[in-house]
Chain A
Amino acid sequence: MTSITTGFVRTDLLPPQPAPRENASILGWVRANLLATPKDALLTVLAVALLLWTVPGMLNWLFFDAVWTGADRTACLTGAQGGVQPNGWTGACWAFVGERFEQFMFGRYPIDERWRPMLVAALFSLLLIPILIPKVPYKGWNALALFVVFPILAFFILHGGFFVFQEVETPLWGGLMVTLILSFVGIAVSLPVGILLALGRRSQMPVIRTLCVVFIEVIRGVPLITVLFMANVMLPLFLPTGWTIDNFLRALIGVALFASAYMAEVVRGGLQAIPKGQYEGADSLGLSYWQKTRLIIMPQALKLVIPGIVNTFIGLFKDTSLVSIIGMFDLLGIVQLNFTDINWITPVTPSTGLIFAGFVFWLFCFGMSRYSAFMERHLDTGHK
């Protein structure tokens, strides 16, 4: 046997290679991500110029030149307009938002009774937070409490009319409270009704299918504002003489009908994505239609369309602002109403109020979309 004599054996390790250029330093990252090609460099320069042109002015207007405290409009008016600011001044009038904050939240709800909406809000958070955290148990009971018990309880607390609760009529409700009530009821109604409509649209029974298709397509084909007008002016005509229907309830019905039609289409998308084998498998196990739907189809279908469902929720939340057109004072409506308030009429009031309302809407919608992204990752089982 001949032994192979090895000529060379490396005994020391190779030196580590330098990190890729874009991870090595900030400069490397800038070169890779901002200045990769001449075209990129040009775009970067343009973008920086745009930022330099807009951002400082925006920050000045919003924060540095803004008025933070003040009792009335003189704080936000220039000397020439009869106020205290130097001539040529412009900036946000946060004093206006600060003074009217409670009104923006509760509308014209009596001041002494405002603990009631606060109580409802606290109850709502208490029920909502555990349902949003996946690990907390008793989801079924929690959902029952949130979607069935809570709305009834909340209505009695807010509307009152019995022992310690003085009656507060719905025209006095307003602000963010109304926006939240409308969207919560819209969401709570639209999901079950939407599921039923989607099932109806895929049903084998022609009468039920036709009714569902007509409802869904008519509602989806027209703008929300016409649905609201319809609920507002036509519902009273449809009811027997002498019956009255609360304005708030009319808007609720309009919003819920509208959201249901959109939800139905989202759910239908999920139903269509379920392979036929799932239906056949359930049938071969001898499950009834409702068992099959509840235990096999819906859990998979709804999971698939979570982004769509949340998008519908976000759309619904934004669309509730339209009720201000039919004379209700939701957040946008009450902010608008205050533009004509003699105490706060200034050139900067509308912009300030609209930016504030926009920020509140944005917070809610952005939060919902982030949560939906989180849920999507959480429920992702890795197979499709």
Chain B
Amino acid sequence: MTDHAEAAPPDGRSLASYIYNPKFRGLFFQVLTLAITLFVGWWIFDNTTENLARSNTASGYQFLNGRAGFDIGQSLIPYTSDSTYGRAIFVGFLNTLLVASVGIVTATVIGFIIGLGRLSRNWLIAKLCTVYVEVFRNIPVLLVIFFFYKGVLGALPQVRDSLELPFSMFLNNRGLAFPKPVWGDGAILVPIALLLAVIAALAVAQWAKARQAATGRQFRTARTAFALLIGLPILGFLIAGMPLTFDYPVAGRFNLTGGSVVAPEFVALYLALSFYTASFIAETIRAGIKGVPKGQTEAASALGLQPSNTTRLVVVPQALRIIIPPLTSQYLNLTKNSSLGIAIGFPELVATGGTTMNQTGQAIEVVSIWLAVYLSISIATSLFMNWFNAKMALVER
């Protein structure tokens, strides 16, 4: 008996039409979500300020200027226990970058070898590589790190019985000691030469590309660039009068003096991350190469390309397109996993930050530094990789 038209408001729309209007509904739910989020945020903020006031903790980043008072085993920049907390955290950050960058290089090399090995026609090689991948992929990275740490440390001798290696290197349970290069006057010429070489190589590459596009004649860019990158720095080194001497480690009764030392924690973390991540990279590589359609290889053979040229010119460029995005995320995983150095006492960002947090009680500030650093690394890498990926991506009509 009720007619909808009768109940309609003066503007001619019923209440129901508002409830079922997607635009109105969307707005309602968004306002609701925003209100809940803001309320929870305010509640957390309120609780936190109250808790901090109760425990007499001052918020803010002034603590970074305070004296750290703890030692760090391995540092790329001068650091003593009198340095500030800020410097300690920075030392940790540099160590994170160091272990991540050398780990990424090694993991990529091992991963490529294992990934190609799994595709090998040779049954034994393929099976061995499969075993490697299945073992490392299915155990926690933390366990791998512990294993290398206990294995490396447990097997190495005391300082007194250091193993003497060629080039005045010593190996013991405090790490690997090796001659420290000391650069003399004029050494600045070498990095300048390297920079010039990079610029020259880029220019040659551009010129070669333009010439090939215009005339079809190829140029051996790779060899030229290699010669430039090796030759120019050596030339610079010779011109500057070879300004390089070495500070050799000398075995004393209780300790080694002089030289540089790589801590066993670093070696353990580096090897564990490399071997662990390599198993994932291997799978990425294998998937990428298998992802290139068989027709491409067959078409290349039909055109008369040699097998090596087929791989180099047809398969690899297409496989790279598939490989690069997951490879990037593996690199990021390795960087993030380097934070597990804290478990074996390698002073990376989380470890030095954790010590700072324990000493000062500035939990929120330290966690915010961690978040900021790791997020910047992640975002920078993704931006770079998105750019690279866009450059490599298939250009279709």
B124 and A47 within 8 A (CB)? yes
For the residues of B in contact with A, the DSSP-based class is helix
Residues of chain B contacted by A222 (CB below 8 angstroms)? 336, 370-371, 374-375, 378
Chain A contact patch, size range = 35 or more
Residues A230 and B367 in contact, CB atoms below 8 Å apart: yes
Scoring B residues 123 to 142 as 1 if CB is less than 8 Å from chain A, else 0, what string do you get?
Answer: 11100100000110111111
Q: Name B37's closest neighbour in chain A (CB-CB).
A: A211
- Known A-B contacts A223-B374, A325-B342, A325-B343; the reply to A336 vs B146 at CB < 8 A is yes
A205-B30, A325-B342 known; A314+B142 contact, CB < 8 A: no
Write the A223-242 contact mask toward B (1 if CB under 8 angstroms, else 0): 11110011001101111110
Given contacts A226-B350, A322-B142, contact A233 B124 (CB under 8 A): no
Closest 3 CB pairs of A and B: A365-B138, A221-B378, A223-B336
Number of interface residues of B (CB under 8 A): 52
Say how far B370's CB is from chain A's closest CB, in angstroms. 5
B295 to chain A, nearest CB (A): 18
* Minimum distance in angstroms from A236 CB to a CB of chain B: 8
Encode contact with A along B337-380: 1 for CB under 8 Å, 0 otherwise: 10110110000001000100100000110010011001100110
| B374 contact set on A, CB distance < 8 A | 221-223, 226
Smallest CB separation, A362 vs chain B (Å): 5
Q: What's the dominant secondary structure at chain A's contact region?
A: helix
B387 at the interface (CB under 8 A from A): no
A350 within 8 A of B: yes
| 7 examples of A-B residue contacts, CB within 8 angstroms | A43-B124, A44-B122, A221-B379, A237-B51, A351-B151, A362-B139, A369-B138
B339 adjacent to A225 (CB under 8 Å): yes
Q: How far is the CA of A347 from the CA of B150 in the complex (A)?
A: 10
CB of B183 within 8 A of chain A?
no
> Which residues on the A side are within 8 Å of B364 (C-beta)?
234, 237
Shortest beta-carbon distance from A27 to chain B in Å: 14
Are A234 and B342 within 8 A (Cβ)? no
- Determine if B33 is an interface residue (Cβ-Cβ < 8 Å): yes
* Cα-based distance from A36 to B142 in the complex (angstroms): 41
Q: A20-59 vs B: 1/0 string, CB under 8 Å?
A: 0000000000000110100010011001101100000000
**A191 CB within 8 Å of chain B:** no
Bound-complex Cα distance A290 to B80 (A): 60
Please state if B44 and A238 are interface contacts (CB–CB under 8 Å).
yes
CB neighbours (8 Å) of B33 from chain A are 207-208, 211
Q: Contact mask A362-380 → B, CB, 8 Å, 1/0?
A: 1001100100000000000
User: Does A314 lie within 8 Å of B138, measured CB to CB?
Assistant: yes
- Does chain B have a CB within 8 A of A324? yes
Within 282-324 of B, Cβ neighbours of A (below 8 Å) are at none
- For A355, the closest partner residue in chain B by CB is B147
B354 touches A354 (CB 8 A): no
Query: B30 near A207 (CB under 8 angstroms)?
Result: yes
Q: Does B29 contact A (CB under 8 A)?
A: yes
- Contact A223 B339, CB 8 Å, known A237-B52, A347-B154: yes
Known pairs A332-B143, A358-B143; A241 contacts B47 (CB<8 A): yes
B397: Cβ under 8 A from any A Cβ: no
Which of B120, B147, B342 touches A225 (beta carbons < 8 Å)? B342
Set of chain B residues within 8 Å of A208, measured between Cβ atoms: 29-30, 33
Whether a CB of chain A sits under 8 angstroms from the CB of B34 is: yes
* B-side contacts of A313, CB under 8 Å: none
Question: Are B350 and A225 interface neighbours, CB within 8 A?
Answer: yes
Nearest-neighbour CB distance to chain B for A165, whole angstroms, equals 32
Contact between B50 and A241, CB atoms less than 8 A apart: yes
- Min CB distance A259 to B, Å, is 15
Contacts of B154 in A (CB 8 A): 347, 350-351
A44 to B146, CA, bound (A): 32
B125 & A47 in contact (Cβ 8 Å cutoff): yes
B180-219 vs A: 1/0 string, CB under 8 Å? 0000000000000000000000000000000000000000
- Chain B, residues 23-63, CB within 8 Å of chain A (1/0): the string is 00010011001100100000010011011101000000000
